[in-house]
Amino acid sequence: MRLAWCMIRAMKLVFFGTPEFSLPTLTRLVAGGHEVAQVVPRPDKPVGRKQEVMPPPVAVTARKLGLPVLQPKSLRGDEVVAKLAATGAEAGVVVAYGKLIPPRVLELFPRGCLNVHPSLLPRHRGPSPIQWAIACGDRVTGVTTMLLDEGMDTGPILLQRRVEIGPRETAEELSARLAELGAQLMLETLEGLENGTVTPRPQPSKGVSVTPMIRRQFGKVDWSHPAQKIFDRLRAFTPWPGLYTGFRGGRLKIHGLEVVTPPPPGEERPGTVLSADPDGIVVRCGRGTAARITELQREGRRRMPADAFLIGERVSAGEHFG
């Protein structure tokens, strides 16, 4: 018979995490009775248009929970390592900390550093697995708990859970789901390590991919791509950096887009406007496909549906986005 979680011995932990994605794991560890001896987020930084210096979500939540917070610029200093060692923690739990954990810190914990990674490793290692799973057109992704080593997401796998990606699901929506799933999986991982039912296993050598950091220029639409790929990139890069395209010497941000099925026949070059009506602006994409822009925004103006946009800008068939 499986023991209830409350009957499993609580562990003393150091938690490393920074953004909102990390919060479900932190709060569930505390609710599950584990002793979080130290919380380590990244330092406060400027955010928003006004660039006000703000603490990261994990620092805010940890203080509300009455947990000690340490925000060093680097984890490599002797003083920081000594403070972490003084906690006497059995394990580190790492969820989207934002930097690699150096070997000196990894070696502090008898049970190692346990990481929640939002992909099915070894696919989509690196800093942006959620966005690239969607951008690559994956239909399935998941969460992996693993033991950290000196590489980037290369350590032994502990547990994994698979989930389907919704056909219209954005990175923001998927991230919220995977954050909750990752929190539950970390609790199961700690339980399994304690009772001996979870054993580390090496990552497969096949199927390895590494994601790059998301950059603003990734949002520029390449109309030579098939319409489905452009749609997937809109989902992947929502809310940031979004999709944008050039038009009449300016920049348009695309907030709404859908694949036209079946596409209108023709051999126009990608980026050519095929039609423009209240339902949207239909644009030729790669491989004979087409996409309909349903919501967009001129630089410096408010976003609006296509029908409102067309009142002010009379877009004609034959014009070009690019």
Name the band, by pLDDT with cuts 50, 70 and 90, for residue 50. confident
User: At 292, is the secondary structure helix, strand, or coil?
Assistant: strand
Position of tokens 């998927």? Answer: 174
Residue-level pLDDT at 6? 43
**Angle at the Cα of 22 from the Cα atoms of 180 and 161, rounded to 5 degrees:** 40
Domain range annotation of the chain: 5-195, 216-312
Can the peptide bond before residue 56 be classed as cis, meaning omega within 30 degrees of 0? no
Report the C-alpha gap between 85 and 79 in whole angstroms: 10
CB 97, CB 42: distance < 8 Å: yes
Provide the phi-psi class of 96: left if phi over 0, else alpha when psi is between -120 and 50, else beta: left
Position of tokens 């003083």? Answer: 79
Residue-level pLDDT at 296? 96
Report the C-alpha gap between 215 and 96 in whole angstroms: 18
Report the C-alpha gap between 104 and 124 in whole angstroms: 26
pLDDT of 7 above 70: no
Residue-level pLDDT at 126? 97
Give me the amino acid identity at 255: H
pLDDT of 130 above 90: yes
CA distances from 1 to 4, 6, 54, 196, 279 (A): 9, 14, 47, 15, 58
Residue-level pLDDT at 72? 97
Name the band, by pLDDT with cuts 50, 70 and 90, for residue 137. very high
CA distances from 279 to 238, 250, 257, 275, 306 (A): 22, 23, 11, 10, 7
Residue-level pLDDT at 49? 81
Position of tokens 């390449």? Answer: 222
Give the helix/strand (H/E) hosting 26: helix 23-31
Residue-level pLDDT at 147? 98
pLDDT of 1 above 80: no
Residue-level pLDDT at 5? 39
Percent share of the chain, pLDDT over 70: 98
Closest to 317 measured CA to CA, from 293, 281, 287, 286? 281
Largest CA distance in the chain: 70
Name the band, by pLDDT with cuts 50, 70 and 90, for residue 23. very high
Position of tokens 């944008």? Answer: 244
Q: Mutual orientation of helices 23-31 and 171-195 as an angle, nearest 10°?
A: 40
pLDDT digits (tens, 9 = 90+) for 213-258: 999 999 999 999 999 999 999 999 999 999 999 999 999 999 999 9
Average pLDDT score, the chain: 95
Residue-level pLDDT at 243? 97
Residue-level pLDDT at 3? 37
Query: Which two three-digit tokens encode residue 105?
Result: 């810190």
Phi then psi for 258, rounded to 5 degrees? -140, 155
How many CB atoms sit inside 10 A of residue 112's CB? 21
> Please, which contacts does 103-111 make with residues 24 or more away whose CB atoms are closer than 8 Å?
103/150, 104/75, 104/76, 105/75, 105/81, 106/148, 106/149, 106/150, 108/81, 108/84, 109/14, 111/11, 111/193
pLDDT of 8 above 90: no
Q: Class of 216-312 per CATH? A: alpha beta
pLDDT digits (tens, 9 = 90+) for 161-199: 999 999 999 999 999 999 999 999 999 999 999 999 999
Stated pTM of the model: 0.94
3-state helix, strand, coil in the chain (%, to 5): 30, 25, 45
pLDDT of 47 above 90: no
Question: Average pLDDT in the 296-315 region?
Answer: 94
**What CATH code would you report for 5-195?**
3.40.50.170
How many CB atoms sit inside 10 A of residue 2's CB? 8
Bridge partners, residue 181, by sequence: none
Percent share of the chain, pLDDT over 90: 94
pLDDT digits (tens, 9 = 90+) for 73-124: 999 999 999 999 999 999 999 999 999 999 999 999 999 999 999 999 999 9
Query: Which two three-digit tokens encode residue 142?
Result: 């998941």
Residue-level pLDDT at 35? 97
